[in-house]
Amino acid sequence: MCKEILIAGYSNSGNTNHIARVIQSITGGKILEIFPAQPYPRDEQIMLKQVESEIKSKKYPALLPVCSCYIKYCKYLFAGTPNWCGTIAPPLASFLKNYSFTQKTIIPFVSHDGGNAGTVREDIQKICPHAEVTEPICVYKDGGDTLDEQIKDFLKHIGWEIK
Ligand SMILES: Cc1cc2nc3c(=O)[nH]c(=O)nc-3n(C[C@H](O)[C@H](O)[C@H](O)COP(=O)(O)O)c2cc1C
């Protein structure tokens, strides 16, 4: 396992988690899954209202505790989120606000349903002004059969040596 690489993400219906696991298989990084302390309501309309309110007010949810030692020592953070209302899901916003990512490189990865990565890169950069935030890995739903190839191509594009 590569200790410099942390793959932290929030996923509501599993797609972002799937992408995280493929990133792990390529990079050897450590996976850290983010959970809100209070799960979102099951009713889609009620959930959407809550999400919209959290995004608008920037009052992000409390999270279940995570092991912060991995965060402190990583150099590269793959930060995963579904595209929610064109931006990052509030639990990832909480995570990024709770810890310092100064001088680290953040590589966002986004699962979407047609809206691509929205303003994810800019929104992460606002929360983490002292990190270098790359363009996002943008994946439609779970990426299908070519996900491994999509991620390898992206990493080569940003200058990583990938077999
Ligand atoms: C509250 C909510 C808002 C969403 N907003 C968008 C959106 O603005 N654009 C988009 O392309 N997909 C949107 N989606 C769809 C998700 O981004 C998509 O289903 C994604 O693959 C889910 O990833 P997950 O399985 O990791 O949760 C939204 C889904 C939810 C639940």
Task: Enter the pTM of the model.
Answer: 0.98
Distance 160 CA to ligand 1 centre (A): 28
Q: What is the mean pLDDT of residues 63-68?
A: 92
Q: In sequence order, which ranges of the chain are alpha helices (DSSP H)? A: 15-27, 44-57, 69-73, 90-98, 120-127, 147-157
| Minimum CA distance residue for ligand 1 atom 22 | 82
- Give the number of the atom of ligand 1 that is nearest the alpha carbon of residue 44: 31
| Minimum CA distance residue for ligand 1 atom 3 | 84
Answer whether 85 contacts ligand 1 (Cβ < 6 A): yes
The pLDDT score that the predictor gives to residue 67 is 87
Residue length, the chain?
Answer: 163
Q: Which letter does DSSP use for residue 161 in this model?
A: -
162, part of any domain: no
Using DSSP, how many helices (H) and how many strands (E) does the chain show? 6, 7
139, part of any domain: yes
Distance 90 CA to ligand 1 centre (A): 12
The pLDDT score that the predictor gives to residue 1 is 57
pLDDT digits (tens, 9 = 90+) for 47-59: 999 999 999 999 9
The pLDDT score that the predictor gives to residue 3 is 76
Nearest to 10 by CA among 83, 82, 58: 82
CATH number, domain of 111, equals 3.40.50.360
| Minimum CA distance residue for ligand 1 atom 1 | 48
Q: Measuring CA to CA, how many Å separate 129 from each of 32, 39, 51, 101, 161?
A: 22, 29, 24, 9, 27
Quote the domain boundaries for residue 40: 5-157
Q: What is the mean pLDDT of residues 68-87?
A: 95
Q: Count structural domains, the chain.
A: 1
pLDDT digits (tens, 9 = 90+) for 119-144: 999 999 999 999 999 999 999 999 99
163, part of any domain: no
